[in-house]
Amino acid sequence: MPLTRRSGTTVPMSPHRCLQAPVHALARLAAATTLLTIALVGLAQPAPTPTWLVGVIVSSSAGSPLGAQQARAAEFAASALARRGVYGAPFVVDVRDDGGDPRRAEAIARELIDQGALALVCCSVPAAGARVAELAEATGVVLLGLDGVHPGDRRWTLPLRPDTRTQLTAIAVHVAEEGKHALALMTLDNAFGHDAAESFERALADAGREPVGTVRYSPSATVLTPEALWAATRAPGAVVVWGLGRDTALALDGLRRRGWLGPVYVRSETIPSAVWTRLRVAPEGPSQPPAAGDPWWQVATAAAPVSVLEVLPAEHPNRAAAAAVSERLAVAGVRLEPSARASVAAVDDALVLLQRAFEEVAALALPPSLSRSSLRQAVLDALVSAPPQHLAAGTYDARSEDARFARWQGLVVVTVR
């Protein structure tokens, strides 16, 4: 089996990923060819001076602080982008509040598209994001998704949050780097758990690791020691607990009660705020035994770079962007718990990505008569043909053959010490 080297460690590469490289290169070539074709049409034409309009739709008045902070981040970034522009043309960011209503989000998106928006950034609420994604697909406009809704086969939606498979791939690669070969999964016995189990199998295949089994438990369970015993006795290198808040704590308690002292990986969303201060990228000296009654000891997660900026190594490719965004958010008056930083920083990431794509398109000197739909297609092609971009909330790499946008390489595995 071919090998790939990452961080000085040799990791088996799955055949799927071996084949992916040439396909990815062809996809970039096709996108670049489309951009070149559009550019040739515009030769000998005067440079256009369009308004580069982006619509940002968040739930700033829905009662949750997240939407309000996302709106504040967008407005602060918009002022800087307006000063910079796109080669002299205006860069306008129109920030709207959907009030947490999916129908309102769709109506706002339609209005922005009618006004000539070349791209949308949306939404704080998954249900709103799903409706806007359907509209973006029908009208042909780029949507950078904030809510983590998987786009399926949608062509125009690029989700900024890593999906379950991406997060689990980061975990599986980390397990491989630790020299372990197999993982067990504990997850809910519902649709959430079904998706997790399916993504778990794919992620392990991506990383060349092996599953030793999956145990599903009831969402109403109050004790998970039998399930924890089943997972521990499979002799895995690590156990992955993919659940929500309450059941994750139950699973960790069950594993400790059954004597499991090996590594446990969880979703970053389930880690309590007080535990974030104990997260480290690597052990600081020999690992100590767990304190009595501390189920979070040696629990690890795959987090966004900006969420763990305080412990992010200086050489990490996302550190500069994460530090810059953290500074901008602080100046804008945005104060967040580490676990919520990524959701707000993703707004900044989205506007940076679009600003770069707009400059790429503007450099082609397209004819002023070019239709808005062709200009939107050029923006999508610029995003797809761009190399991986290391920003605050993750690493983004659009591929025409893969609906995912946020990549596992942009996540940082940290462990509670």
116-135 per-position pLDDT tens digit: 999 999 999 899 999 999 99
Report the alpha-carbon distance of residue 283 to residue 380 in Å, rounded. Answer: 42
Task: Tell me the β-bridge partners of 399.
Answer: 402
Does residue 105 contact residue 369 with C-beta atoms inside 8 Å? no
Give the number of other Cβ atoms within 10 Å of residue 85's Cβ. 17
Distance CA 139, CA 119 (A): 11
Query: Shortest CA distance to 377 belongs to which of 144, 93, 31, 24?
Result: 31
Residue 208 is which amino acid? Answer: G
Contacts of 351 (CB under 8 A, 6+ apart): 54, 56, 74, 77, 78, 81, 93, 121
- The Cα–Cα gap between 160 and 148 comes to 7
What are the tokens at 14?
């799955």
Full set of structural domains in the chain with CATH:
27-161+321-405 (3.40.50.2300), 164-310 (3.40.50.2300)
Pull the structure tokens for residue 50.
């369009």
Which residue matches tokens 């034409």? 45
Distance CA 327, CA 169 (A): 30
Q: Cβ(380)–Cβ(263) under 8 Å?
A: no
The phi, psi pair for 411, rounded to 5°, reads -100, 150
Whole-prediction pTM: 0.85
Q: Which helix (H) or strand (E) holds 111?
A: helix 102-114
φ and ψ of 292, to 5 deg: -60, 130
Residue in the block written with tokens 């993703």 = 346
Q: Long-range pairs for 128-133 at CB < 8 Å and ≥24 separation? A: 128/57, 128/59, 128/98, 128/100, 128/101, 128/102, 128/104, 129/105, 130/102, 131/102, 131/103, 131/105, 131/106, 132/57, 132/105, 132/106, 133/157
Q: CA dist 172 to 168, 210, 217, 271, Å?
A: 6, 9, 22, 19
The whole-number pLDDT of residue 165 equals 93
Query: CA 300, 305, 308, 311 torsion: positive or negative?
Result: positive
Dist. CA 143–CA 150, nearest whole Å: 12
According to DSSP, residue 306 is labeled G
Tokens 């997790």 belong to: 196
Tokens coding 190? 């519902």
**Left if phi > 0, otherwise alpha if psi is -120 to 50, otherwise beta: which for 193?**
alpha
Query: What is the per-residue pLDDT for 45?
Result: 39
Query: What confidence score (pLDDT) does residue 416 get?
Result: 92
CB contact at 8 A, 71 and 58: yes
Long-range contacts of 28-32 (CB under 8 A, 24+ apart): 28/384, 28/385, 30/400, 31/381, 31/382, 31/384, 31/385, 31/400, 32/381, 32/385
Please state whether beta strands 3-6 and 9-12 pair in parallel, antiparallel, or not at all (unpaired): antiparallel
Q: Which residues of the chain are under the pLDDT cut of 50?
A: 1-27, 29, 32, 35-36, 38-49, 285
Greatest alpha-carbon span in the chain:
75
Nearest to 334 by CA among 75, 54, 56: 75
